[in-house]
């Protein structure tokens, strides 16, 4: 290569480097951030990456049904087992798979609990807002690019790779937190749990007598199989569960389809909607039709902790960690 060509290449690389640095700074400012509790999902997802490596013995994955049901602090207080809820709103099963890949980069849990609410969902692609809710807070990596490929058809993926294309119009919405936010400073004391307040919601109950098992869409089934294969590869036990949610008839048909797959493939499965009496759940402890409020989540997690130790007695416990105990005392969960 001639000296002139080397100089041109060096200038080109320098320009590219400067552009990337400037773009990263601008993107950092304009990108949507969910920092206000209880919906501080940016803190919960980004904060996971600031947790110590190999910290969690149990990892929870899935949609809002997971993050509104499992209280890691309560579970730790009862059992000494450390856990994290790596879940997002309406998280499709392809996102659940890639979130598990992300988690296993730094964590070596003995057990992965996957909430199955979205597995029967028939949508091949979800809406743009939901897509950004589970993509924006993940760091760019080969795994994230693979998730983007699953998330949107070709020609619609650029805003997920370069979020500034989506958020460049936020000029008038910018707040101080957009400039002061630092990913490395994020930490969620609740370990991914979303604490929903008490409401006066009245869940709807449908006649389920005529319900028959539905089907799992082909795309979703492929990712369920990948989840099972990933857990086997990593030596992680897989437990499929349906968190308490008062499902309607159409949803029950899908849940039963997942249960049938689990039985056929030797994967543990539990539908906790069948255990309301044992758990002590009533309509008054639901935030809305499908999500437990703080009282309901605490009641469920206390019960779940006993079942967890019964099913998986060899989980490693670390009941004396002062950091966890300090947070438990500070949060004063039920």
Residue 153 has pLDDT above 80, yes or no: yes
Angle at 70 between CA 65 and CA 75, to 5 degrees: 170
Q: What is the mean pLDDT of residues 141-161?
A: 96
Q: Is the pLDDT of residue 255 over 50?
A: yes
Looking at per-residue confidence, does 128 or 173 come out higher?
A: 128
Residue 25 is predicted with a pLDDT of 53
The average confidence (pLDDT) of the chain is 90
Backbone angles phi, psi at 292, to 5 degrees: -75, 145
* Region label for 90, one of left (φ > 0), alpha (ψ between -120 and 50) or beta (otherwise): left
pTM: 0.91
- At the top level of CATH, which class does the domain 35-149+183-331 belong to? alpha beta
SS3 200: coil
State the first-to-last Cα distance of the chain, in angstroms, to the nearest integer. 70
Residue 142 has a pLDDT of 98
Mean pLDDT of 119-141: 96
User: Average of pLDDT values for 178-199?
Assistant: 89
d(CA 257, CA 217): 10
In this predicted model, what pLDDT tens digit does every residue of 39-98 receive, in sequence order? Answer: 789 999 999 999 999 999 999 999 999 999 999 999 999 999 999 999 999 999 999 999
Strand partners, 58: 83, 111
Instruction: Give mean pLDDT, residues 170-174.
Output: 68
Question: Per-residue confidence at 193, pLDDT binned at 50, 70, 90?
Answer: very high
Mean of pLDDT values over 13-22 = 47
CB contact at 8 A, 120 and 224: no
**In angstroms, rounded to a whole number, what is the distance separating the alpha carbons of residues 178 and 28?**
8
**pLDDT of 264-286, one tens digit each?**
999 999 999 999 999 999 999 99
Write phi, then psi, for 64 (nearest 5 degrees). Answer: -60, -25
- Mean of pLDDT values over 9-14: 56
């Amino acid at each position: 290569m001639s000296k002139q060509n080397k100089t041109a290449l060096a200038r080109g690389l320098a320009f590219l480097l400067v552009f990337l640095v400037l773009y990263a700074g601008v993107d950092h400012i304009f990108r949507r951030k969910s920092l206000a509790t209880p919906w501080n999902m940016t803190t919960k997802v980004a904060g996971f990456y600031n947790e110590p490596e190999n910290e969690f013995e149990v990892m929870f994955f899935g949609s809002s049904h997971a993050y509104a049901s499992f209280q890691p602090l309560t579970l730790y207080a009862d059992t000494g087992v450390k856990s994290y809820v790596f879940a997002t709103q309406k998280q499709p099963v392809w996102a659940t798979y890639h979130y598990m890949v992300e988690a296993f980069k730094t964590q070596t849990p003995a057990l992965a609990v996957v909430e199955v609410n979205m597995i029967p969902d028939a949508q091949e692609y979800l809406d743009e807002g939901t897509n950004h809710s589970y993509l924006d807070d993940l760091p760019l990596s080969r795994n994230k690019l693979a998730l983007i490929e699953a998330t949107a058809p070709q020609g619609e993926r650029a805003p997920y790779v370069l979020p500034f294309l989506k958020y460049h119009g936020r000029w008038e919405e910018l707040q101080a937190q957009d400039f002061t936010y630092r990913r490395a400073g994020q930490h969620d004391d609740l370990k991914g749990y979303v604490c929903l307040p008490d409401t006066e919601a009245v869940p709807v109950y449908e006649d389920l007598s005529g319900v028959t098992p539905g089907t799992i869409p082909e795309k979703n089934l492929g990712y369920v199989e990948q989840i099972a294969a990933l857990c086997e590869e990593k030596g992680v036990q897989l437990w499929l569960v349906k968190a308490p949610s008062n499902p309607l008839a159409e949803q029950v048909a899908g849940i039963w389809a997942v249960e049938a797959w689990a039985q056929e493939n030797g994967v543990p499965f539990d539908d906790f909607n069948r255990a309301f009496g044992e758990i002590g759940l009533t309509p008054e402890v639901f935030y809305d039709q499908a999500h437990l409020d703080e009282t309901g989540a605490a009641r469920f997690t206390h019960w779940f902790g006993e079942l967890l130790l019964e099913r998986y007695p060899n989980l490693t416990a670390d009941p004396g960690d002062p950091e966890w105990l300090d947070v438990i005392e500070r949060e004063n969960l039920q």
